[in-house]
Amino acid sequence: MVFLVEMDVNIPESWSEEKIADYVTREKECSQGWQKSGKWVYLWRVAGQYSNVSVLEVESPDELHKIISSLPLFPYMTINVKSLCKHPNALREAMI
């Protein structure tokens, strides 16, 4: 199953620089682990925003939730998920 996931990050204004750096470091370790597993296929920054657009290929919605909720910043993100399927007019096969 392929999902498009949009994540908008909302860091609380009260956080210190040290706390932000700690979360950002752990977020990188976590998401790169999932990317290395092959399940997190694409990770793009939305230009001009503290947001990303990602494509994940997973076995189930439960697995998608497990991956997304493992991110340290999960409680501080607004997340939008869309389930994708093949477009009948697509000229190219999905590259995943």
Ligand X SMILES: O=C(O)C[C@H]1C=CC(=O)O1
Binding site for ligand X (CB under 6 A): 7, 9, 27-28, 31, 52, 71, 73
- Please say which residue, 70 or 83, places its beta carbon nearer to ligand X: 70
Cα–Cα separations (whole angstroms), residue 61 to 1, 12, 22, 67, 75: 8, 28, 29, 10, 18
Residue number with the shortest CB distance to ligand X?
Answer: 31
CB of 89 to ligand X, least distance (A): 31
For 42, residues 6+ apart whose C-beta sits below 8 A from its C-beta are: 53, 54, 55
CB of 8 to ligand X, least distance (A): 9
- Please say which residue, 75 or 88, places its beta carbon nearer to ligand X: 75
Which stretches of 38-72 are DSSP H helices?
61-69
- Please say which residue, 27 or 63, places its beta carbon nearer to ligand X: 27
For 29, residues 6+ apart whose C-beta sits below 8 A from its C-beta are: none
CB of 40 to ligand X, least distance (A): 8
